[in-house]
Amino acid sequence: MTDLLNLRHTTAHPIFRVELDQAAFNHGFRKANGIADGWLWFKSDEGVPGEVALASGINSDGSPWFLAVEHAGVAAKLAVELSQAAVSPPAHFKGAFAFETQAELRSALSRAFHLARSLPTFPLAQYEAEIAGLGNTEVDRIVKERVGQGYFRRALLDYWGGCCPLTGIGDEALLRASHIVAWADCRSDDERLDVYNGLLLAAHWDAAFDRGLVSFEDNGRVLVKPTLSEAALALLAPERARPLPLDDGHRRQLAWHRERFGFIS
């Protein structure tokens, strides 16, 4: 790991403090939570789990802006997406990252917030709080599913950045929250609300996936049933689809989907 130098610049130079405060506030972490060893600590005022810490200074690679993340899942996901060597985080934080520009820091901070809001088990906790007063009647079951589907969709919009990863379509009206293991087939509410049991797909891809006409390999590439018509293939254009950036959680669920719809001989 890279050692950080001069991180106390956050307290020595008020302009850095102001910019870091503004960055945190504008990207979901609106509650200041103290200063330690040159890091400014923040948490969400929406109950989103995990603190973040921000710092400014100059280290051996010249990067003046730093973000540390407490949430282990967020830290792991950012490490993959940012493709950069980690820097030394403050105590009990799971990862820290360096940026050359404030714009890069703000982008990563926004991503950290949306990931923390989507990753297990925050959507489940929100869902359980809302349905706490419901019983087990058929009407209650319908309400529970509607509420759960709403939280699941919001989690997928956060996780996938509001875009279908296959097509790049970002019009929310054209996006569907696709369960990999269907709601009715899930073993628990934990699985039903798990962001890794879902894909955010454009409506035509969602329809094909839901019916088992397409699925995905562990490397994210599309699998297509030979029964698809030429018109359907022309609409989906699977040869132009981007490989899905999958996590191990997605891969476990997709194994079920491939078996369920006969993609495994």
Nearest one of 73, 85, 74 to 4, comparing CA atoms: 85
Which residue bears the tokens 């989103």?
48
Count of residues in the chain: 265
More confident of the two residues 196 and 56: 196
Of 246, 226, 249, the C-alpha closest to 238 is 226
Residue 12 has pLDDT above 50, yes or no: no
Q: What is the pLDDT of residue 232?
A: 97
Mean pLDDT of 224-249: 96
Q: On the CB side of 23, how many CA atoms lie within 13 Å of its CA?
A: 28
Q: Residue 71 in contact with residue 22, Cβ under 8 Å?
A: no
Burial 43-55 (b: 16+ CB within 10 A, else e): bbeeebbbbbbbb
Of residues 105 and 59, more confidence is placed in 105
**What mean pLDDT is predicted for residues 107-113?**
98
What percent of the chain clears pLDDT 70, i.e. is strictly above it? 92
Residue 198: its pLDDT value, please? 98
